[in-house]
Amino acid sequence: MAPEMIVPQARAESGTLRSEEARLRAYLADRLHIRTRFAPFSDVRAILVSAPDDAADKGLIVSTETTVAERIYLYVHVAAHVALGHHRPLDTIVEGVPGVVRLERDAHAHGEAERLARAMWWGTNEDLAAPRRVRGSAILRGLLARAPTRSAVRGILLALRAAYYDLRIERALSRTRIAAWLRDALCVTAVVSVAPQLGDA
Amino acid sequence: MRLSDAERVSRAIQTLSGRASLDVIVDRLYDLTEGTLELDRATLHRIARGKTQVARAIDSPEECIRLYFALMIVGCEQDVATATIVEEGRAMLAGFIGEPLAALIFRDLEATLPKLADRLTLKEYLEEGLRLWLPK
């Protein structure tokens, strides 16, 4: 997974992204027994440490260098690894930083997890999927599948958000369906922008 | 628990302790294992000095593994070279619980360590490993 992760230039972390991250982290804790904590890693993005007993807690240490969007992606990716049993019988999973850590030995496992993570992200499992309002949009998914259109969509959504706040219309529009859709679309776009492999058709 | 090679275990503990006194290291081991180590101070000293092959208080592999992770963390804190930490940690654990039982842990460690070049990352990994082996 790591080689394709793109580090965004600016950190514009919205409330929608943060609540999605919290929701996914809670899912990892409640359903997969994965306790998450953070550490200032420079050479890896995350480490999943397991015990031989599958029912026992697992520990996920995530780099404090990651953005919220990256963490959302990491949680889905880690859930895919666990679903595939890559942590068994006692295997530590290291999510590396592109160009720093060589993970060729694990390339196959990470490739499998990528594919499953993508299926989960666009699938119907409410716990791990992208927000419901936007994940069924074939148009948005098509636009996010390629770098130029993904970048354009992100630019447009950020411009719309800026206008939304600059024009001080959030109070009037905040509860509308269109505003909710745009918030979710920006959230999904931010995640796919840092992990384009999620958007591959 | 009977140590299979008391002398090697003693050498490993002393190497991982760096320049710190054994008493300071023993304190740190109790800290790291959150008081779950059943070994008393005197026995731990005797093991570290290679004076005994018997550690009656340690009666489960889990306890040996906690001691192993804690000693590896001490090695990180004492600035012992990473390769030495791994080698001595292995010698210590193998001395306690024997190779067959330790093989699972060593296999994971050998696959994981090449990916963790940074000492801080290694220490965080070891701390998480220790946490998972602490009793609930």
Mind listing the pLDDT tens digit for each residue in A150-159?
999 999 999 8
Residue A194 forms part of a structural domain:
yes
A30 and A111 in a common domain:
yes
- A150 within a domain of the structure (yes/no): yes
**Within a domain: A8:** no
A190 in a structural domain: yes
Same domain as A150, residue A122? no
- If asked whether residues A38 and A114 sit together in one domain, one would say yes
Whether B116 sits inside 8 A of A91 (CB atoms) is no
Domain check: are A108 and A48 in the same one?
yes
Instruction: Please check whether residues A143 and A188 belong to one and the same domain.
Output: yes
Report how far residue A144's alpha carbon sits from residue B126's, in angstroms, rounded to the nearest whole number: 39
Residue A14 has a pLDDT of 81
Note the helical H segments in A33-176. Answer: 68-83, 107-122, 132-135, 138-144, 147-166, 170-173
Are residues A147 and A194 located together in one domain of the fold? yes
Q: Which of A129, A163, A181 is the last residue of a domain?
A: A129
All residues of chain B having their beta carbon less than 8 Å from the beta carbon of residue A104 are: none
Report the residue from A39, A92, A102 with minimal CB separation from B108.
A92
> For the packed helices B41-48 and B22-32, what is the interaxial angle rounded to 10 degrees?
120
Residue-level pLDDT at B124: 93
Overall domain count for chain A:
2
The tokens describing A44, both together, are 């890896």
CA distance to partner chain B, nearest, from residue A121 (Å): 27
The more confidently predicted of residues A170 and B87 is: B87
Domain annotation covers residue A85: yes
Is the domain of A71 the same as that of A48?
A: yes
pLDDT computed for residue A8 by the predictor? 47
Q: Is the ipTM of this complex over 0.90?
A: no
CA–CA dist A85, A78 (Å, integer): 11
* Residues of chain B contacting A105 with CB distance shorter than 8 Å: 111
B83 interfaces chain A, CB cutoff of 8 Å = no
Same domain, A37 and A62: yes
* Whether B111 and A105 lie within 8 Å, measured CB to CB: yes
- Asked if B1 is an interface residue toward chain A (Cβ–Cβ < 8 A), one would say no
* pLDDT digits (tens), chain B, 136 positions: 667 777 888 888 889 888 889 889 889 999 999 988 877 888 888 888 888 776 665 667 788 888 889 989 999 999 988 888 888 888 888 777 665 666 778 788 878 887 887 888 889 999 999 998 888 7
Do A47 and B105 count as a contact with CB atoms less than 8 A apart?
Answer: no
> What is the structure's pLDDT at B93?
81
pLDDT of residue A9: 46
Same domain, A48 and A144: no
In a domain, A18, yes or no: yes
Q: Say yes or no to pLDDT of A46 above 90.
A: yes
CB contact A109 to B (< 8 Å):
no
Domain hosting residue A148, numbered range? 134-198
The average pLDDT across A33-39 equals 95
